[in-house]
Amino acid sequence: MGKLILVRHGRTVLNTTDEHERLRGWLEVPLDSQGLREAEETALHVARYPVAQIYTSDLLRARQTAAAVANATGAPVFSALNLRPWNVGTLAGQRVTDILPILQRLEHEPSEPAPGGESFLSFYERYSLALRELLLIASRARRNVVVVTHVRNLLATPAALFGGDPSKIPVRGGPKTGSLTWIEQQGKTPRLHVEDLDCCLPALVELHTQAVPTVG
Would you tell me the crossing angle of helices 151-162 and 120-140 to the nearest 10 degrees? 70
Q: In what order do the strands lie in the sheet with 189-195?
A: 77-79, 51-56, 144-149, 4-8, 180-186, 189-195
Of the CA atoms within 13 Å of residue 90, those in its CB half-sphere come to 3
pLDDT value at residue 203: 37
What tens digit of pLDDT does each residue of 45-67 get? 999 999 999 999 999 999 999 99
CA distance linking residue 148 with residue 123, whole number of Å:
16
Q: What topology is assigned to 4-180 in CATH?
A: Rossmann fold (3.40.50)
CA distance linking residue 49 with residue 144, whole number of Å:
8
CA distance linking residue 26 with residue 153, whole number of Å:
13
54's CB contacts (< 8 A; 6+ apart) are 66, 69, 70, 73, 75, 76, 77, 78, 145, 146, 147, 148
Please, what are the averages of pLDDT over each run of 10 residues along the chain (216 residues)? 90 80 92 93 94 97 96 96 95 92 89 95 95 92 95 92 85 77 82 63 35 28
pLDDT value at residue 95: 92
pLDDT value at residue 191: 85
Residue 209 CB burial class (10 angstroms; 0-12, 13-18, ≥19): exposed
pLDDT value at residue 196: 58
CB 85 within 8 A of CB 123: yes
pTM for the model stands at 0.86
